[in-house]
A = this chain, B = another copy of it.
């Protein structure tokens, strides 16, 4: 996790493959993406990249670590609005904004690549297909947010937490960060509470219950899925929302083992 002044080729390649997951890209499209200016930067835990009300001039591409969008209320309560892992573009939509209505910060030490808005806007103008892919990217994020909203409104803590674990497992596998049902998720129970709309203490109990039920385990920053089908059933998880298009020949769900 050393500082690299400007993005390496492998960083650019990850951006290409992240976007290729969202829509079909031709050779020229890939090259155009590879040519985007990208400066990599190391960030400590708890650092904000965007703050409510601010205007930014560059977008961030996650290379390592976990970030989240969030909002604080006046009484100190925090609601996390999205969770971002390597391969994500957490503030893409800021190219269309005067002032952010959320903050974006790191939950763990992270490495990000920064891309100037200008370069993205130009690329979108020049390349209709990439424009559509980026639009779709923002729509997938909205679909994820919708699932969180449904959970917060209508699911019990246990199911809600199971659903989040399903989603994260599917996303981590998609991103190539989990090959079996086990992966790193080095966030605190307080962070999880702020995602799930629960108190830290209740998150702790729910995680214990999930472990007792033999569904999943989160210990020392590692998630272990013990019973994928059980998790899916208790949370009514259907991973379709994580993709807008089925790439030819692939099936919807991301099954385990």
Contacts and interface: CB of A to CB of B under 8 A. Distances in A.
Oligomeric state, in number of copies? Answer: 2
Interface string A236-256: 100011001110000000000
Contact of A236 (B74, B145, B153, B196): B74
Nearest to A102: B146
B138 A78 contact: no
Contacts of A93: 139, 142
Contacts of A194: 153
Nearest to A148: B149
Q: Which 8 A-B pairs have the closest CB atoms?
A: A153-B197, A152-B152, A79-B153, A101-B241, A77-B154, A79-B150, A79-B154, A142-B142
Contacts of A79: 149-150, 153-154
Tell me whether chain A's interface is mostly helix, strand or loop, or mixed.
helix
A78 B153 CA distance: 9
A244 B245 CA distance: 28
11 contacts: A74-B236, A79-B150, A81-B150, A96-B132, A96-B139, A97-B139, A97-B244, A135-B138, A149-B149, A149-B152, A154-B197
A46 B196 CA distance: 31
A118 interface: no
A202 interface: no
Contacts of A47: none
Interface in A44-88: 53, 71, 73-74, 77-79, 81
B236 A99 contact: no
Nearest to A197: B153
Which of A142, A147, A236 lies at the interface centre, i.e. has the most chain B CB atoms within 10 A of its CB? A142
Given A96-B139, A150-B79, A73 B197 contact: no
